[in-house]
Amino acid sequence: MKKIFFVTVSIAAFAFLLSFKISTADTTIKVNNDSLLYVGEKHFANMQQLTFGGDNAEAYFSFDGKYIIFQKTNPKEGINCDQIYVGKVPGPGEKFEYKRISNGKGRTTCGAFLKDGKHVVFASTHLDADNCPLTPDRAKYGNKYIWPLYSSYDIFMADLDGNIVKQLTNSKGYDAEATISPDGKQMLYTSTKDGDIDLYIMNLKTGKEKRITNALGYDGGAWFSPDGTKIIWRASRPKTEAEVKEYKDLLAENLVAPTNMEVYTANVDGSNIKQVTSFGNANWAPAFMPDNKRIIFASNHQSKRGFPFNLFIINEDGSNLQKISAEKSFDAFPMFSPDGKKIIFCSNRNNGGTRDTNIFIADWVE
């Protein structure tokens, strides 16, 4: 029986990805002439692998669907902690070409395009130090799986040549996990500035912002619905006295243990908060599907041992759960192209028995 492989990488979802991935042999089964698919993956067609080697994740489309932004770590290439890259979506048979747009200093995470197609936002620790920030010693916490909430993270706007044109946050706490509204006017992000891990919406023109969540627990990885009327995110909600104490103790040290998360939705102003999933384990990386009604997310709720992670779709009211990926270790970070015709996600499939995580794109089949 293979064991879970724990490592420490960037904050937020990418760290979570790496902690659960396992080394697997290439067991993909050729289906309909597509060698990257597993039996049962009927919603994918014409799948392409975009990256080969290292840890590649959080790949998201530009507003016109022609480019993607993602983060990458690969010590073999001298990339010791996550940096942000942008590349053009390749056509059939074309090679995926990409370039780094972060400055290579510190650690970066959670990139997103602005609507003008000429700028991006991402979080970075580079103002604090050139080197990668230290990772927490898990032995100190009983080898519990934890994420570091680096207080040196702030969110920056940069052009596609990597020139930082604006610093968008400047709080003493963790500011990261930024995404942009469909009209391009607002930024949704996670911060610890008010003492908990909450969601905020900022007007990009004026800088004015509103706190969206107030319940105790981690709130992060949030996205707008395609029509801009709702938001969706992952959240933990400690309930018992012991859970609350553990959460607060870790938060006091800029840490969080994200092993129990569920999917939530709300109106864009933070009203009408609803819990979509109640599966236990980790249900995360959610996004609304192009119809603004269904939701796609990653989850390990079908396993007691923490893996595999697979992709699921579900109605907004929590009904009609469907498993759509069948990889035996890790599939996550699903996102649809703006026209709804393609899906991009990150996976351990086809990694030659290594622990590499790569980016895959496919046509979506209803």
**What's CA 306's distance to the chain center, in Å?**
18
> Token match 């067609």: residue?
45
Amino acid at 50: L
- Is the pLDDT at 15 greater than 90, yes or no? no
> Token match 């995360």: residue?
284
Q: What percent of the chain has pLDDT over 70?
A: 91
Contact between 189 and 170 (Cβ < 8 Å): no
Q: To which H or E segment does residue 248 belong?
A: helix 241-252
Q: Give the model's pLDDT for residue 26.
A: 40
Q: How far apart are CA 352 and CA 366, in angstroms?
A: 30
> Token match 């997103």: residue?
112
Phi, psi of 290 (to 5 degrees): -55, -20
Strand partners, 49: 360
Tokens of residue 141, six digits: 């916490």
CATH match of 12-364 with 2.120.10.30: yes
Report pLDDT digits (tens) over 240-290: 999 999 999 999 999 999 889 999 999 999 999 999 999 999 999 999 999
Domain locations in the chain as residue ranges: 12-364
Cα end-to-end distance, the chain, whole Å: 35
> Token match 């604006």: residue?
166
Give the residue from 111, 137, 155 showing the smallest Cα distance to 6: 137
